[in-house]
Structure 1
Amino acid sequence: MTRIIAGFAGSLTLRVPRSGTRPTSDRVREAIFSALEARDALDGARVLDLYAGSGALGLEAASRGATDVVLVERAKPAAEVCRANADALLKAAKGGRRPHLRVAVRPVAAYLETAASGVDLAFIDPPYDLDEVALARDLELLAPLLATDAVVMVERSSRSPEPAWPAGIEPERRRDYGETTLWWATTAQPDLPSQPE
């Protein structure tokens, strides 16, 4: 069973697609969101949840203060689950501000080619069998869309190599949780020209 862990929709049960997805475990999601809250990366954030599956990562971010979340999922049955979960989350938002939630039923690369910039937080949780070339392409398309100090989290099998980070995305750290590895990265800071003395 997958649930929203905390925030205004805490304990809300989420639907999960019958097949073709691998939901992030509660333990790993707890670790992800503890890290994000520690760096104040959620409040008011614009979020992309790529390869969304059930939408659990993006919707958890919305429950905890993200204001704009796009769930990108090309499989129609999974996208329908994302829509149902997003609707349930919005019903739980009593009063106060309601996050803006969208489901994009498109392949990730096709979505990124036309997406708006200003992304504060991107979750990339592809199927473990997605090849490294396709993941590298996704990261390359994502890089110019990122806001200053954006956070990128890539979830992979612990047997997968480190992602090929493009210019504009700077790796920070790796964390292992059994069969799952989280790769954390942020927007690369441009080199400033040296000041004359």
Structure 2
Amino acid sequence: MTRIIAGELGGRRVAVPAKGTRPTTDRVREALFSRLDHDDALRGARVLDVFAGSGALGLEALSRGARHATFVESAAAATRVLQGNVRDLGVASRSRVVRERALPYLTRATETWDVALLDPPYDIARDDLAAVLAALATHLAPGAAVVLEWATRAGDAPWPPELEPVRDKKYGETRLHWAQHVD
């Protein structure tokens, strides 16, 4: 079990799929959301949680003041757990769960987001991640924040030109990469 760290849902439990996902550690989630809070990026934001798994990242964003979260997850078992979390936490009216692979979804999406959180499998091919990030860039509001959680060993994030790297920080085997959408 994972818990929401802070905000209106702070302390509430989030179910995690039995297999096939790698939940973000509390330490990494706290660092990620402390930075977003510091930047005042969440209040009223439209958030996209890609490779959502249990939805812990998007749910944390909702707990901390995001207006709406869209969760994109392709695995059926993880999507069922995610739908249960959205229901059990009472945030269904502020959420949308999409069971689809990231790239096809982003290719046809019409929404615009203020914050995008991506936690792909660590073994995702660099070119595949680059394609997802390029497709994502076309759906971001000016100045939108993008956070990519990826393996430290993977190196630098393959940001497209529309996403300007801002910072990155290592947490053991995990590295958070931050970018901002440039107008």
- After TM superposition, the score normalised by the length of structure 1 is 0.90
Answering whether residue 164 of structure 2 is matched by residue 163 of structure 1, we say no
Unpaired segments ≥5 residues, structure 1: 92-97, 190-197
Residue from 109, 131, 138 that aligns with 2:103:
109
Matched residue, 2:182: 188
Aligned residue for 2:138, secondary structure, equals helix
Residue from 153, 165, 179 that aligns with 2:147:
153
Count of residue pairs the alignment pairs up: 183
Matched residue, 1:40: 40
Matched residue, 1:63: 63
Q: RMSD across aligned C-alpha pairs, in angstroms?
A: 1.2
Residues 99 and 8 of structure 1: is their aligned pair in 2 closer, same or farther, counting only changes over 3 Å? farther
Runs (4+) of structure 1 exceeding 2 A deviation are none
The one-letter code of the counterpart of 2:107 is E
Larger radius of gyration, structure 1 or 2? 1
Residue from 113, 122, 126 that aligns with 1:128:
122
Q: For residue 161 of structure 1, report the CA deviation from its aligned partner.
A: 1.7
Q: For residue 118 of structure 1, report the CA deviation from its aligned partner.
A: 2.1
Q: Is the 8 A contact 1:173 1:183 kept in 2?
A: yes
Separation in 2, partners of 1:36, 1:90: 23
The one-letter code of the counterpart of 1:89 is L
Q: For residue 90 of structure 1, report the CA deviation from its aligned partner.
A: 1.2
Matched residue, 1:4: 4
Matched residue, 1:52: 52
Matched residue, 1:174: 168
Q: Is the 8 A contact 1:46 1:67 kept in 2?
A: yes
Matched residue, 1:84: 84
Matched residue, 2:31: 31
Q: For residue 164 of structure 1, report the CA deviation from its aligned partner.
A: 1.5
- After TM superposition, the score normalised by the length of structure 2 is 0.97
Separation in 2, partners of 1:172, 1:21: 27
Separation in 1, partners of 2:157, 2:8: 34
What do residues 108-165 of structure 1 show as CA deviations (whole Å, max 9, x unaligned)?
A: 0011011124210001100101110000000000011000110000001110021221
